[in-house]
Amino acid sequence: MEKRKQFDCVGVGLCAIDYLCLVPDYPAANTKTEAVAYSRQGGGPIATAMVTLARLGAAVGFVGKVGADVEGEFVRAEFQWENVDYSNLIVDKTERTPQAFIWVDQKTGDRSIVLNRTQWTPPNWDAIDHAVFAGTKFLHVDGRFPELEIPAIRLAKSHGAKIVMDAGGVRKEMDTYFSWVDYFVASETFFKSYFKNTSLESGLKELITLGPRAAVVTLGNAGAMGADENGLVRTPAFTIPVIDTTGAGDVYHGAFIFGLLQGWSLEKTMIFSGAVAGLKCRRLGGRKGIPSLRETQDFLLKNGFQEFEAKL
């Protein structure tokens, strides 16, 4: 009998190809501009979080779907290079791998993204080997595909897994997730849309009452704020030269799960996640700048966080 694979984390989500152009200014209507730099990389929120975790040294798997095209081959090759298990990445001959076209402002590192998934549909639950959800410590989802994610969550939790939610925006059936999720990590965009005029402090406290044991909202260059049973935590952003913020939130989520795997406190996990996400922003694209564990540890020690001195 074949031994079941064991993962530190499995992610379920969309994986795309990112086509990135660094531009001196955003092009105005009916104008042309020349790129300062260009890069093609794998993308997608959960997929990039899994690459982050793998680069930090965790055993991870990804569940998703690509087309039988050049982009799909690129996605699989990059997963293989990054040591992400993609045995549950479905290849559909009738569809096309999603593409993201990204313009990055050279002056600020801010970006605009157009996602093309016009020839792509989400994976079907029945097409997935369900054993992958029974053999993982953490399951990472983002609410895009509740018809796949909810049964995956139920199965993973029945085998003792913890659930981490990437709430980049308000999606359908979002309320269904609250009682299932253990760690809810939200963008500022989600927070403002869902809680309207509620303060960060009050919204985080409310999130905790809905089910999660901890909740965090990322605030870009203002750092992050979180809450758990021990109260509120505020962590600052690091001062790092920014080339591109693409994927910073996704990288934060992957680093956050790494902290959970170490059994760190919420504050220590948030500090580490902020460092990994910040260091990523030194390079164009969501993945090229993701640091190694050693590089992150050295950076934190240089910035006075001696609690990261012990070998990880």
Structural domain contains residue 4: no
Domain presence at residue 10: no
The closest alpha carbon to 143, from 98, 174, 119, 97, belongs to: 174
Q: Residue 289 domain-assigned?
A: yes
Q: Is residue 136 part of a domain?
A: yes
pTM score: 0.95
57 within domain boundaries = yes
Give the CATH number for residue 74. Answer: 3.40.1190.20
Both tokens of 291, joined, read 């640091």
Considering its fold, how many domains does the chain have in total? 1
Model confidence over 218-236: pLDDT tens digits? 999 899 999 999 999 999 9
Which range marks the domain in which residue 263 is found?
A: 16-26+34-306
Residue 132 in domain? yes
DSSP letter at 173?
T
Report, as an integer, the average pLDDT of 103-117.
90
- On whether residue 68 sits in a domain, the answer given is yes
Question: What's the burial of 146, exposed, middle or buried (CB within 10 Å: 0-12/13-18/19+)?
Answer: middle
Q: Given a cut of 70, is residue 311 above it in pLDDT?
A: no
Is residue 312 pLDDT above 70, yes or no?
Answer: no
Across all residues in the chain, what is the average pLDDT? Answer: 94
Q: What percent of the chain has pLDDT over 70?
A: 98
| pLDDT for position 4 | 58
Residue 7 lies in a domain: no
- pLDDT at 1 (0 to 100): 35
Between CA 158 and CA 241 the distance in angstroms is 44
